[in-house]
Amino acid sequence: MNKFYIIVALILMLCIGCEWRLKPNNEDSDAGFAVERYDRIQSLYLTTGDFSALQQMSTNYPIQTRTLIENVLKIGNVNDPEINAKFLNFYQDTTLQAIINEAEQQYANMDDINKEFTKSFDNLHKLFPSMKIPTIYAQIGSLDQSVIVGNNIVGFSLDKYLGKNYPLYKKFYSEEQRALMTRQMIVPDCILFYILSLYPLPHDRTATQQQCDIHMGKIQWIVNKVTGRKVFANKYVATVARYMKKHNGTTEHELLTLPINDNLLN
């Protein structure tokens, strides 16, 4: 499944308005950034039917729950009197139950991910001082969207990051796609699609594919820079790198807002 176009569609549907903070949930200032573990409450309900877990989902995570039910799973309206039963029944599929169990085992601990988010968001804030940083949460989908953006929140689906060798993936995804479905891609993907939501692709229908590719290359180059890793490597990222080396006074904001032009970075 093409992650890119699904995420762009959701970005256009959801409102973006994020708030700078490195300490969700009023955590101690020494704790750094912490992913909100919506997935734990979700999995508790979906594997046991625990009503208190359902109440927590509705009370503590209303936006996440609405987004999951209405925009990701597309199983109905969150206000439908029967939606809780539909939601629970949807995940009773043996494949989805196996995915839930695998996700909760692989991601029992996210210290490494929280550490990378802390470092990357600190670096992003240095490049974009006025950029507001969103809350990040983990969920479990059904092998659909990898990342969703909106309403002060970026969510990532653990079911899309179970590793390139996860047996189920081989039935649905190419080797190239599976290479991107790893733990190491969570932070880069979240940052990429968050920046894309703030600096979207041109809506002008006359924009060429190359212009769109260049724009994505700009964002990928920035993601590489803030994560300190060469996550994305392609000719457009290389082109942006050469341009920024030649024009070292250009800020990242200026780079992303340069007029669309096929020859812009030549």
Percent of the residues in the chain that have a pLDDT greater than 90, as a whole number: 77
* Helix (H) or strand (E) segment spanning residue 85: helix 83-90
- For residues 181 and 157, what is the distance between their CA atoms, to the nearest angstrom? 11
* Amino acid (one-letter) located at 147: V
Q: What is the mean pLDDT of residues 218-230?
A: 97
Query: pLDDT tens across 108-127, in order?
Result: 999 999 999 999 999 999 99
Q: What are the C-alpha distances in Å from 93 to residues 29, 50, 55, 88, 137?
A: 41, 18, 23, 10, 24
Q: Between the CA atoms of 166, 170, 174 and 180, what dihedral angle is there, to the nearest 10 degrees?
A: -10
Q: What is the mean pLDDT of residues 30-45?
A: 89
Please report the pLDDT score of residue 31 as a whole number: 53
186 has pLDDT over 60: yes
22 has pLDDT over 90: no
* Amino acid (one-letter) located at 12: L
pTM here? 0.86
Name the β-bridge partners of 24: none
Q: Between the CA atoms of 189, 185, 180 and 164, what dihedral angle is there, to the nearest 10 degrees?
A: -150
Give the three-state DSSP class for 45.
Answer: helix
- For residues 74 and 134, what is the distance between their CA atoms, to the nearest angstrom? 24
Name the β-bridge partners of 232: none
> What tokens were used for 251?
């800020």
Please report the pLDDT score of residue 210 as a whole number: 86
Residues 6+ apart with CB under 8 A from 102: 162, 166
- For residues 71 and 12, what is the distance between their CA atoms, to the nearest angstrom? 12
DSSP code for 30? G
Of residues 241 and 1, more confidently modeled:
241
Name the β-bridge partners of 138: 156
Query: pLDDT tens across 56-85, in order?
Result: 999 999 999 999 999 999 999 999 999 999
Give the three-state DSSP class for 139.
Answer: strand
Please report the pLDDT score of residue 114 as a whole number: 97
* Helix (H) or strand (E) segment spanning residue 46: helix 38-48
192 has pLDDT over 70: yes
Please report the pLDDT score of residue 15 as a whole number: 34
User: Among 34-48, 218-232, 246-260, where is mean pLDDT lowest?
Assistant: 246-260
Of residues 264 and 28, more confidently modeled:
264
Query: pLDDT tens across 123-158, in order?
Result: 999 999 999 989 999 999 999 899 999 877 999 999
Give yes or no for a contact between 120 and 191, defined as CB atoms under 8 angstroms apart: yes
Backbone angles phi, psi at 31, to 5 degrees: -80, -15
- For residues 108 and 116, what is the distance between their CA atoms, to the nearest angstrom? 17
At 209, the pLDDT band (50, 70, 90 cuts) reads confident
96 has pLDDT over 90: yes
